[in-house]
């Protein structure tokens, strides 16, 4: 989320976070999420905005995803080997055909 789209208002009993100028979240009285009581409402608001806008790390690939990637690599390698083998067979067939034409 773009941090520039978020703003906040400090109230006497908490704060609100606004998205595009409209109240989006309220952290008021006992209805607020746990705040750092050693910080002011403004510091807590800024911290929450920072948490909301923090980049989400890419998840690590699962074992299944790693296995699929490995199988795809193996499949690609085998496909390449098969293509090379087929080309060699076709070349051998041409040589055999050429030899049989010369012996007739």
Q: Write out pLDDT tens, residues 15-53.
A: 999 999 999 999 998 777 777 889 999 999 999 999 999
Asked if 4 and 50 count as a contact pair (C-beta separation under 8 A), the reply is no
Instruction: Quote the tokens at residue 92.
Output: 């051998």
Q: What is the pLDDT of residues 65-91, one digit of tens each?
A: 999 999 999 998 898 899 899 999 999
Average per-residue pLDDT for the chain? 88
Instruction: Quote the tokens at residue 29.
Output: 């009285």
Provide the whole-model pTM.
Answer: 0.53
Neighbours of 58 (CB within 10 A): 6
d(CA 29, CA 88): 79
d(CA 25, CA 28): 10
């Amino acid at each position: 989320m773009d941090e520039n789209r978020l703003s906040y208002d400090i109230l006497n009993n908490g704060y609100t976070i606004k998205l595009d100028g409209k109240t989006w979240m309220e952290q008021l009285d006992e209805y607020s999420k746990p705040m750092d009581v050693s910080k002011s409402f403004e510091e807590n608001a800024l911290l929450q905005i920072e948490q909301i806008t923090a980049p989400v790390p890419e998840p690590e690939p699962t074992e299944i995803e790693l296995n699929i990637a490995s199988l795809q690599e193996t499949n690609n390698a085998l496909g390449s080997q098969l293509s090379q083998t087929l080309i060699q067979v076709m070349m051998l067939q041409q040589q055999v055909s050429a030899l049989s034409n010369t012996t007739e």
